[in-house]
Amino acid sequence: MKFLDQVKIYVKAGDGGNGSPSFRREKFIEYGGPDGGDGGNGGSVILKAERNLNTLIDYRYQQHHKAKRGDNGSGQNRTGKSGDNLILKVPLGTQVFEEDNKTLIYDFIKIGEEFVAAVGGKGGLGNTRFKSSTNRAPRKYTKGIPGEEFTIWLQLKTIADIGIIGLPNAGKSSLLAAITNANPKIANYQFTTLNPNLGVASYDDKEITIADIPGLIEGAHKGTGLGIQFLKHVERCKSLLHMIDITNDNIKKSYNQVKTELKNYSSKLSKKKELIILNKIDLIDKNKVRDIVGSFSKNTKSEVITMSTLEKKSISKIKAKLISYAS
């Protein structure tokens, strides 16, 4: 499925049905009184957060959404049927903005949450409502009220317990595939991951959601590479897993490069709880691994561990660590 994290849509609630100006017509009754029923209410447009969605792509192809109008009232004091609500499913983490794409209206942070984007119009009143002691045969009735209509923006910010960050080709997608049910595209070249991938890891009867954020490069906070469009997905993660290719010539520089991009985008990102993983230890000598870890650990307060996605022991160790970082 293609990924889309921003889209503009038009929503129109249903109009209320008109009230009826009907009069009772019965044999042998010379003066039949009013019996016009009320109109039904129009349906509302409701956004609802769903667990199994991670893209807004469906709304690229269908951007106009209208709920049903209420039926008109009729004789014998019959009220018109109300229009059905229109439920639009959105991924958890979706934010709703006004037409200016700046003013936040609603933020979905829980599964099953609902937000009424456009309220259906009320049905009009039938002439029965206007009968009085001084007006036995009112012809007055009211029309239904139009439903609300708006143009709104939907923006998706991924919500996950753990966000995997790092430079391109650090092994983020391989790790996600190894510890979760996700099936990301994996290859040995930069920018294999073009969209955030989500997976669920299970360990010791506990589950955590993990997001693989596309590789960050220098200038990402300004839009370079895959850029700023994916940095926003890091904001929602409780903790970060910073993956570094231990075979890089200068892993300290690699680490600082990503941290700088996070800080330049938002100072809060650089302060998130972080687990650093030096990956691909199967490619270099064990003694060299020990030396690299010892030297690197002196320059950071974050926990540093090593792994290879090819080793099952490493995968179990990482799962246990991530559970603790997500709590």
Instruction: Indicate whether 111 and 194 sit together in one domain.
Output: no
pTM: predicted TM-score of the whole model, two decimal places: 0.71
209 and 319, same structural domain? yes
Burial of 294 (0-12, 13-18, 19+ CB in 10 A): exposed
Give residue 180's region: left, alpha or beta (phi > 0; psi -120 to 50). beta
Q: Are residues 206 and 152 in the same domain?
A: no
8 Å CB contact between 165 and 234: yes
**Structural domain ending residue among the three candidates 156, 187, 203:** 156
What own/partner pairs with CB < 8 Å and gap ≥ 24 does 284-289 have? 284/246, 284/247, 289/246
Q: What's the domain count of the chain?
A: 2
Specify whether the CB–CB gap between 165 and 270 falls below 8 A: no
Q: Are residues 221 and 128 in the same domain?
A: no
CATH number for the domain harbouring residue 295: 3.40.50.300
**How many residues are present in the chain?**
327
pLDDT for res 75? 93
Residues with Cβ within 8 Å of residue 12, at least 6 apart in sequence: 45, 64, 65, 66, 67, 118, 147, 148, 149
SS3 308: coil
Query: What's the pLDDT score for residue 187?
Result: 35
Q: Name the DSSP class of 20.
A: P
Do 146 and 260 lie in a common domain?
no
Range of the domain at 106: 1-156
Domain boundary among 132, 156, 180: 156
CATH number at residue 86: 2.70.210.12
pLDDT tens, position by position, for the chain (327 residues)?
456 788 999 999 999 999 999 998 777 665 678 999 999 999 999 999 998 787 888 898 899 999 999 999 999 999 999 999 999 999 988 999 999 999 999 999 999 999 999 999 999 999 999 999 889 889 999 999 999 999 999 998 877 788 888 888 777 778 888 877 655 433 333 333 445 677 777 777 787 888 887 656 554 444 444 445 667 777 878 899 999 999 988 899 889 888 888 888 888 888 889 999 998 998 999 899 999 999 899 888 899 999 887 777 778 888 888 888 877
* pLDDT given at position 95: 94
Please tell me whether residues 174 and 322 are part of one structural domain.
yes
